């Protein structure tokens, strides 16, 4: 089972780098969102530094969802999903491996470059570190929640918009605690530890429950 999961991970990682969820596309989208904010808000550096963590988190949220609509759709179109559902590897493990490949190929590079983009928002070194740490802890929850939406819309053509409508309300708790944790170094009212631990708990809960929900949706779509 371990070798099968590793082979599936490498396959999905290569696919994720080729389609819209690749690192370069996500990084460019992330950069565009962050670069537009100073033009919309104005040149007030104090204001940018205060709301910078929220800007980075919203940009990371939208960039994370980029390409998630294709997480299962390509396998549905070429018939691979039926083979994966009948394989010895449990479908829940398949979902988890595919999400891990998407996160590694498309989201982890965004976390690495987030401090660089944070400099555009006048964030200091401590705030940049907290933003990166909060994204590292919180983005797995975003990916797993997005996988549920991708599974629910797997049989729909151009279901990306519907997936976003389904997923974005579910990501609000992650966004709230992520921004609270990242804002602790830039004058935020909330302390660091409580929202950071809540963010970690949300990611753990998503890792535990989302594969089963997504696998159930995929089985229902295959009937």
Question: What is the number of domains present in the chain?
Answer: 1
Phi, psi (degrees; rounded to nearest 5) at 66: -65, 120
- Please state the length of the chain: 223
Task: Check: CB of residue 112 under 8 Å from CB of residue 103.
Answer: no
Q: In Å, how far are 46, 145, 198, 210 from 137, measured between CA atoms?
A: 27, 14, 10, 16
- What is the overall mean pLDDT for the chain? 83
What is the tens place of the pLDDT at every residue in 131-173? Answer: 899 999 999 999 999 999 888 888 776 666 778 888 899 999 9
**What is the extent of the structural domain holding 42?**
2-222
Look up the pTM and report it.
Answer: 0.87
Q: What is the mean pLDDT of residues 6-12?
A: 80
Q: What is the mean pLDDT of residues 4-17?
A: 77
pLDDT of amino acid 199? 93
Task: Check: CB of residue 218 under 8 Å from CB of residue 155.
Answer: no
What is the tens place of the pLDDT at every residue in 74-132? Answer: 777 777 777 777 777 888 888 998 899 888 888 888 899 888 888 888 888 888 888 89
Q: What does DSSP assign to residue 70?
A: G
pLDDT of amino acid 194? 86
């Amino acid at each position: 089972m371990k070798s099968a999961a590793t082979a599936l991970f490498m396959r999905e990682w290569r696919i994720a780098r080729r389609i819209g969820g690749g690192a370069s596309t996500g990084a460019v989208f992330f950069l565009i969102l962050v670069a537009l904010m100073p033009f919309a808000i104005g040149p007030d550096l104090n204001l940018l530094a205060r709301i910078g963590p929220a800007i980075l988190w919203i940009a990371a949220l939208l960039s994370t969802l980029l390409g998630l609509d294709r997480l299962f759709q390509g396998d549905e179109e070429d018939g691979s999903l039926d083979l994966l559902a009948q394989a010895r590897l449990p479908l829940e493990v398949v979902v988890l491996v595919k999400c891990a490949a998407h996160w590694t190929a498309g989201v982890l590079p965004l976390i690495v470059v987030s401090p660089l983009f944070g400099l555009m928002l006048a964030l200091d070194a401590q705030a940049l570190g907290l933003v990166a740490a909060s994204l590292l802890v919180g983005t797995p929850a975003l990916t797993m929640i997005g996988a549920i939406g991708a599974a629910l819309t797997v049989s729909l053509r151009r279901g990306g918009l519907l997936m976003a409508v389904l997923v974005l309300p579910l990501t609000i708790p992650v966004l709230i605690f992520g921004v609270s944790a990242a804002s602790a170094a830039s004058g935020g009212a909330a302390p660091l530890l409580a929202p950071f631990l809540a963010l970690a708990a949300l990611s753990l809960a998503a890792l535990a429950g989302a594969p089963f929900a997504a696998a159930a949706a995929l089985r229902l779509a295959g009937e």
